[in-house]
């Protein structure tokens, strides 16, 4: 597992390479890089209750992204949600927001569930009520960091591709940011609930069944993203 500086540098280097080639996967990765920088800065500022747990969460989360990317680029089996996002970037003429949300959908609604399961499954039953609340508090604190990053994403990713979005941003004031953060917060609440369901599975077969169900739900969101915004 790489350290925070290595992860951000890896994201930035790959995003720059994709931007030079007009690879639309750069839209999500540039956003993810900004979010990660701000998350690691928040760790330095001690904004979480359990900084070490959050750092491990962020690094494990990044591993899921890069592992899926490596599998896709090498032609190996990859989660369907990432296959849809990567193929859409190569084959479909979608709005920058659609490409951005396809990546967000796959990484938050699918990868984050598995990441939380990885970190919580061994400790959850042994945590006190207060300990469990701390885990959820730190998970929810991420929503605040995301909210603080929205303007940067809009200025440096979205409006670079669609300058007329700057007019919409000014006309709508804070409404568009509220809609964005409200959606992401709602998704992250669902993610927490899904991870707890996985933790409480009584068998490997039940866990596989729930993961398959989760993937189908995330694929439906991906289809909605591609259809509704176009």
CB distance 187 to 218 below 8 Å = no
Q: So what's the pLDDT on residue 76?
A: 77
The residue range of the domain holding 102 is 4-228
Q: Which helix (H) or strand (E) holds 127?
A: none
Q: So what's the pLDDT on residue 77?
A: 81
Number of domains, the chain: 1
Over residues 168-177, mean pLDDT: 48
Query: Taking Cα atoms as reference points, which of 32, 83, 81, 84 lies closest to residue 58?
Result: 32
Q: So what's the pLDDT on residue 130?
A: 97
- What proportion of the chain, given as a percentage, has pLDDT over 90? 67
* Per-chain mean pLDDT for the chain: 87
> CA-CA distance, 222 to 81, in Å (whole number)?
7
Select, from the ranges 1-5, 127-131, 163-167, the one with the highest average predicted confidence (pLDDT).
127-131
Over residues 161-183, mean pLDDT: 56
C-alpha distance from residue 151 to each of 80, 115, 166 (Å):
30, 27, 11
Supply 51's token pair.
């900084």
Q: So what's the pLDDT on residue 57?
A: 97
> CA-CA distance, 98 to 113, in Å (whole number)?
22
Is the predicted pLDDT of residue 40 greater than 90, yes or no?
yes
pLDDT digits (tens, 9 = 90+) for 50-105: 999 999 999 999 999 999 999 877 877 889 999 999 999 988 788 888 888 999 99
Q: So what's the pLDDT on residue 167?
A: 38
Q: So what's the pLDDT on residue 164?
A: 40
Of residues 34 and 228, the one with the higher pLDDT is 34
Phi then psi dihedrals of residue 123, to 5 deg = -110, -15
CB distance 81 to 218 below 8 Å = yes
């Amino acid at each position: 597992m790489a350290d925070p500086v290595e992860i951000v540098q890896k994201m930035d280097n790959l995003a720059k390479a994709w931007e030079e080639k007009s690879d639309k996967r750069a839209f999500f990765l540039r956003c993810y890089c900004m979010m990660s920088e701000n998350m690691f800065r928040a760790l330095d500022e001690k904004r979480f209750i359990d900084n070490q747990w959050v750092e491990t969460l962020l690094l494990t989360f990044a591993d899921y992204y890069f592992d899926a990317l490596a599998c896709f680029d090498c032609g190996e089996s990859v989660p369907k949600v990432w296959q849809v996002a990567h193929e859409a970037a190569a084959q479909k003429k979608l709005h920058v927001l659609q490409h951005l949300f396809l990546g967000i959908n796959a990484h938050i609604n699918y990868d984050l569930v598995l990441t939380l399961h990885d970190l919580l499954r061994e400790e959850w039953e042994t945590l006190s009520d207060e300990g469990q609340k701390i885990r959820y508090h730190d998970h929810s604190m991420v929503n605040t960091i995301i909210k603080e990053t929205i303007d940067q994403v809009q200025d440096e990713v979205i409006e670079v591709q669609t300058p007329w979005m700057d007019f919409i941003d000014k006309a709508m004031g804070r409404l568009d940011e509220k809609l964005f953060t409200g959606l992401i917060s709602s998704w992250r609440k669902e993610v927490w609930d899904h991870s707890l369901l996985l933790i409480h599975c009584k068998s490997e077969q039940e866990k596989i069944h729930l993961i398959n169900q989760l993937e189908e739900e995330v694929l439906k969101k991906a289809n909605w993203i591609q259809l509704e915004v176009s």
